[in-house]
Structure 1
Amino acid sequence: AALEEILPMQQKDFEGIFTAMKGLPVTVRLLDPPLHEFLPNLVDQSLAVQKLKLTGGSEEQLAKERETLAQVKRLHEQNPMLGTRGVRLAMLYPSIPEMQARAIIRAALAVLEREGETVGVEIMVPLVIVRKELEVQREIVVKAVEEELEAAGKRIDYTVGTMVEIPRAALTADEVAEVADFFSFGTNDLTQTALGISRDDAEAGFLGHYVDTDVIAKNPFESIDVDGVGQLVKMGVDRGRSTKPELKVGVCGEHGGDPDSVEFFHGAGLDYVSCSPFRVPIARLAAAQAVLKGL
């Protein structure tokens, strides 16, 4: 019931994006935030229960808050960024990606009806580590999309791919590519998982010292770690295209707006970079310079 209420909200959001981007490809990453972002804070919920007990709250209200607390405790994770998020959440609750796929395609169809053209829909499954995850999610998405298209009596082009942000996905990219139409390297998370460091904690802690004392040349979250993370990207591209030579491959993350990183990505064979809007002019210039250097 909750997802039925969310679907039109998602559709409305997508329609706004697709209207602005009509005639162009748009990649939509399916739900990715860690589970704790959808739950009440464990400490706050515990305090709410204690407050009701101490102030003589009604039994009905206390029972409700206790039930919520029990659910929060059950779903609580020590390391939510590496926990139940992305494709893992979708595997546990397949109705979520199904709902999102329907919202995406309904939005694309609505824009087509209203504007006479729509976007090239690219649906991206995040945090995949094994082929089977993407295979299962692809089936869910394709089934939902095809049902919506059949009901509308129309056809629009769409593709289903994955975000490569875990080292294992890059190492087994030849297998993952069997069920992917495209790859997008999520270099923010790939850097975290490859180097084993938390971006927020590291940048507030030791990374500045490492750069200042020449332990490392640059902050790896600002400019791609060519010898480490970069090799995972290159390996992922090569192995993915060994299975599908025409596999579309790009990058999503702040590295897409860093000139040195863009030059590396061009050399690694990526088709495009994605970055924050304010970095787009820099990315375009860097991409042009990288191409000219290769002539």
Structure 2
Amino acid sequence: MQEQRKLWRAVGLALTTSAVAGSSIYLAPSSPATAATPALTPAMMLFQAGEGDEGGEGGQKVDLATNDAAYLAHLGLLRGHLWVGMQLYRDGHMEMAKTHMKHPKDELYAALLPSFKARQVDGFASQLEALTEAVTQEQPAAQVEAKYAQLETAITSVEQSSQKSVRSHLLALSSMLRSAAAEYKLGLDPNQPMLHEYQDAAGFTQIAIARLTQLQQAELNEAEQEAMTKALRYIEQLPELWPRLDQIESSQDSSLLYGVAARIELLAYSMS
């Protein structure tokens, strides 16, 4: 129980401090992971981890009310949208920020409502709406930052990280990186580049890094600690993927993100 409480505190810290850790997604070139896996369509945003009690089978949709990894991944994607929106807001790209702030409510939040009821947790609709309004109405920066902090706290509460296994956390991170890869591929489409998707991929990856960084620091057993260290190293070995957020500027490939997602998934399944 003490280990679980420390893990909960670590994850909560990661996700409330991720807003000021933006530089960590702009990774210096190194030796990349190169394995590729089939793409997920961004509209699905499904957790696809192969067969097993934590993942889906044959790409089938899983139940967020009962599947911890899928639940954490879905919340991670929502956090990723918010992170991008806040980064763009802070950089003065108001119209881009407004678009990203609308997507969590329009595309992701509704799917979580049944799982909130099943898991007996309160949602965060009011906090999400408050932040969206603050950004779209271009309220003073102090008000926007305060509402973002309140929303982050509310999301941390419903995640219930202390009740989730390290295996579930790793599978969720793998799923988030697969979604990032799918969005990154769309963003770099030579026929029709999509800046919004390119930005989404950055947000999903940033939240994965923030979670891993803090999970690595939690009090875990030797095997879990080693898995976290390896997972973070895989991401750190990626080349620079987002030189900037306000425009597409990359010569990299989505297979790099798919490769890291696959390697983290294997680590997850090595956990008992």
Taking structure 2 as the reference length, what is the TM-score of the superposition?
Answer: 0.25
Q: Does 1 or 2 have the higher relative contact order (CA < 8 Å, sep 6+)?
A: 2
Which structure has the bigger radius of gyration? 1
Taking structure 1 as the reference length, what is the TM-score of the superposition?
Answer: 0.23
Q: Counting strand residues as a fraction of each chain, which structure ranks higher?
A: 1
